[in-house]
Amino acid sequence: MAALAPAAPASASNGTDAADALFTPYLTLVLPNTTTVSALAPQRTSARPAASAPPVSASDEDAYLHAHGGGATSGAGGAGALGRHIDFERLKFRLVFIIWPALVGITMAM
């Protein structure tokens, strides 16, 4: 069973950096009557992740929050509008998971 375990990263003994290590991947083929494990060619790995997205500027963040209704509102008009806001997701959740089962339970108890 030890032959099926993946190999640990192997670094050269000449003092190379662990971030630039060799890793030997294995290919496993499982069939109904047999399992075949093949070692593939060693590959260099890098422990340093690459940036996947550019940084977001403050103006982009403000524009996004304004367009999607997030962020704090200022002024007297903003405070009044928040009080009259209806959260339909919360209303649907309460209807489906609280009110409807309670109604069905009360009806069945009668």
In a domain? residue 33: yes
In a domain? residue 65: no
In a domain? residue 91: no
In the chain, how many domains are there?
1
Confidence bin at 84 (pLDDT 50/70/90): low
What backbone torsions phi and psi does residue 3 show, to the nearest 5 degrees? -70, -20
| pLDDT above 70: percentage of residues in the chain | 63
∠ CA(70), CA(89), CA(86), 5° rounding? 65
In a domain? residue 27: yes
In a domain? residue 59: no
Rounded average pLDDT over 75-98: 73
Q: Which of 4-13, 46-55, 87-96 bottoms out in mean pLDDT, i.e. has the lowest?
A: 4-13
Confidence bin at 6 (pLDDT 50/70/90): low
Rounded average pLDDT over 14-30: 72
In a domain? residue 6: yes
Rounded average pLDDT over 14-22: 59
Tens digit of each residue's pLDDT (9 = 90 or more) over 24-56: 888 898 999 998 988 888 888 776 666 677 777
> Which residue has 């997205």 as its token pair?
53
In a domain? residue 57: no
Q: Which domain holds residue 8?
A: 2-12+21-46
In a domain? residue 26: yes
3-state secondary structure at position 64: helix
Quote the tokens at residue 53. Answer: 């997205």
